[in-house]
Amino acid sequence: MSPRRFFLREDVRLPGIVIAALAGCAAALLTSGSLSRQADSYVAAHRQVEAEVMENHSRGVPKGVVVDIAWTGLDGQRHTGTARLSLDHAADTRVWVWVDAHERITPAPNGRPEIVLGSMVTGTGTVLAVWLAILLGRRLVRGRTERSG
């Protein structure tokens, strides 16, 4: 069967949906694996340290505040930086931050929610793109057939 005849058939919708769904699943699976490997390599090159909040907060550190922090590096020297706190630290003057090999503060690695969300968005986008390509291909073939026939 020629591609032209395939796209003109009415029963192409179900195979098109199946093809789009399989492409979306494959894209989501590949994205999940890639993001997981990326997170694993990030953790291998970075480490989490316990840092002390240098400012005096007698009632704890409020959520969302940028504070100066200090920690002891692997080299035994004291390092400083700033961090935005995302959790309420009731009367706690210690926070956990991620640092690289040069003791610079870095963002935390992607966790499971980010990996799942990234995979879902990629899979959904792939399904929509493949389905749209099938629909546009069908319309293109139908339009050319109607003009020539």
Whether 33 and 78 map to the same domain: the answer is no
54 pLDDT band, cuts 50/70/90, is confident
Whether 101 and 127 map to the same domain: the answer is no
Whether 33 and 77 map to the same domain: the answer is no
Whether 126 and 99 map to the same domain: the answer is no
Work out the percent of the chain whose per-residue pLDDT is above 90. Answer: 54
Place of tokens 């003791």: 103
Q: Per the structure block, which two tokens stand in for 136?
A: 């546009």
The whole domain housing 81 covers 47-108
Measured CA to CA, the distance from residue 34 to residue 85 in angstroms comes to 29
pLDDT of residue 124: 96
Selection from 35, 34, 32, 37 nearest residue 123 by Cα: 32
Cα dist. 31→26, 34, 35, 115, 146 in Å? 9, 5, 6, 8, 41
Q: What is the per-residue pLDDT across 121-140, written as a single tens digit (0 to 9) for each?
A: 999 999 999 999 988 888 88
